[in-house]
Amino acid sequence: MANSILPAAVRIVEMGPRDGLQNEKQLVSTDTKLELVRRLERAGLKAIETTSFVSPKWVPQMGDNAELLPRVLAAAAPGVAYPVLTPNLKGFEAALAAGAREVAVFGAASESFSQKNINCSIAKSLERFRPVTEAAHAAGVRVRGYVSCVVGCPYEGAVAPQAVADVAATLLEMGCYEVSLGDTIGVGTPAGIRRMLEAVAKRVPVVKLAGHYHDTYGMAVANVFASLEMGVAVFDASVGGLGGCPYAAGASGNVATEDVVWLMNGLGIDTGIDLEALVDTAAWISAQLGREPASRVARAVLAKRAKTACA
């Protein structure tokens, strides 16, 4: 509970180019995505999920993956990871051909979500990833794991912490170097997040866990804070709060990277990220999409700048 037990530094994994843009209706150009990645690098992000290797039939926005990733990697910034999502072996092979050095696989903690989303059971979906992780390890490619619906599911409501622990443990056992726990629909509050983390931490060391919290109901920053108090030191976030909720159009998506950085700055926790450059990036990508940033920090910082500029 005391500040002294909080981590001294956290790693933020930027989701903007992938999770942030994937549900965007208007097609974002490859040039714009590339520029987004470059701006994120300059702001100090050290892990930027760049795209996903899924069928363009399902996610047309990621249809330029085979063009984007090589362009990103051609001028990769030193020490920056560019993971890409790979739902199956075919996707993995395409990612590898495009030069991927890190991929991500995922499993749901909710049976109904797994069935409705990918039309198979959780167990079956995890088995499908086994050849991916094996091929990845054979190729020296790092694999990150995601668990979705870690506290609630749009179809079945509350999700048992034990179900999350089972999926997380399986992903670890398959060789994922880290497991990111996703409150996909943003319904969690600190109590539920902690119960879930307690269950998972019995199976997966907390240093291998990341928090991936959506801000649909405005709880994400509080959930990040509660997770910090449990020792979690890696968080996924999306610049400008990009990425609405596909289950509730008009609602918020990923927690904004700026909001997480503001929190960490206030807690004296190092992120290595330049908040002003990040706000610039949020303003820039939001303008590209024709809207205001969803992030409160971006809005407040921009409003303050505008006021100072007028004064």
Tell me: does residue 222 bind a copy of itself (CB under 8 A): yes
Question: Among 27-35, 37-45, 107-115, 240-248, which window interacts with a copy of itself (CB under 8 A)?
Answer: 240-248
- Contact (Cβ atoms closer than 8 angstroms) between residue 77 and residue 127: no
Strand positions, DSSP E, the chain:
11-14, 51-52, 84-85, 102-108, 142-148, 152-153, 157-158, 178-183, 209-213, 234-237
Residues 179-198 that bind a copy of itself (CB under 8 A): 186-192, 194
- When the beta carbons of 50 and 252 are compared against a copy of itself, the nearer one is 252
Percent helix / strand / coil, the chain, rounded to 5: 50, 15, 35
* Out of 88, 216, 227, 238, the residue judged to bind a copy of itself by CB under 8 A: 216
The reply on whether position 311 binds a copy of itself by CB under 8 A is no
CB of 92 to a copy of itself, least distance (A): 34
Residue from 164, 263, 273, 285 touching a copy of itself (CB under 8 A): that is 263
Candidates 73-81, 98-106, 124-132, 298-306 — which segment interacts with a copy of itself by CB under 8 A? 298-306
Verify binding: residue 25, a copy of itself, rule CB under 8 A.
no
Distance of alpha carbon 116 from alpha carbon 246, whole angstroms: 14
Using the rule CB under 8 A, is 211 a contact of a copy of itself?
Answer: no
Is 217 a binder of a copy of itself (CB under 8 A)?
Answer: yes
Q: What is the phi-psi region of residue 79: left when phi exceeds 0, alpha when psi lies from -120 to 50, beta otherwise?
A: left
Helix (H, G, I), strand (E, B) or coil at 135: helix
How far is C-alpha 136 from the chain's CA centre? 20
CA dihedral 239, 82, 147, 249 (to 10 degrees): 40
Q: Which is nearer to a copy of itself, 19 or 102 (CB)?
A: 19
Under the criterion CB under 8 A, does residue 284 sit at the interface with a copy of itself? no
Residue positions annotated with a catalytic role: 245
Q: Provide the 3-class DSSP secondary structure of residue 271.
A: coil
CB of 49 to a copy of itself, least distance (A): 22
Angle at the Cα of 214 (from 299 to 62), degrees rounded to 5? 90
Give whichever of 57 and 307 is closer to a copy of itself, judged by the CB atom: 307
Q: Strand locations in 167-296, DSSP E?
A: 178-183, 209-213, 234-237
**Should residue 287 be labelled a site residue for a copy of itself when binding is judged by CB under 8 A?**
no
280 binding a copy of itself? (CB under 8 A): no
SS3 call for 157: strand
279's tokens = 């706000």
Contact with a copy of itself (CB under 8 A): which of 80, 99, 225, 231? 225
Q: What is the 3-state secondary structure (H, E, C) of 100-120?
A: CCEEEEEEECCHHHHHHHHCC
Query: Residue 24, interface with a copy of itself (CB under 8 A)?
Result: no
Q: Is position 155 an interface residue for a copy of itself (rule: CB under 8 A)?
A: no
| Minimum CB distance to a copy of itself, residue 299 (Å) | 5
Does 213 engage in binding with a copy of itself (CB under 8 A)?
A: no
Number of residues counted as binding a copy of itself (CB under 8 A): 47
Q: Which two tokens stand for residue 136?
A: 């990845």
Residue from 218, 276, 287, 291 in contact with a copy of itself (CB under 8 A): 218
Binding stretches for a copy of itself (CB under 8 A): 1, 3, 6, 186-192, 194, 215-219, 221-222, 224-226, 229, 245, 247-252, 256, 259, 262-263, 265-268, 295-297, 299-300, 302-304, 306-307
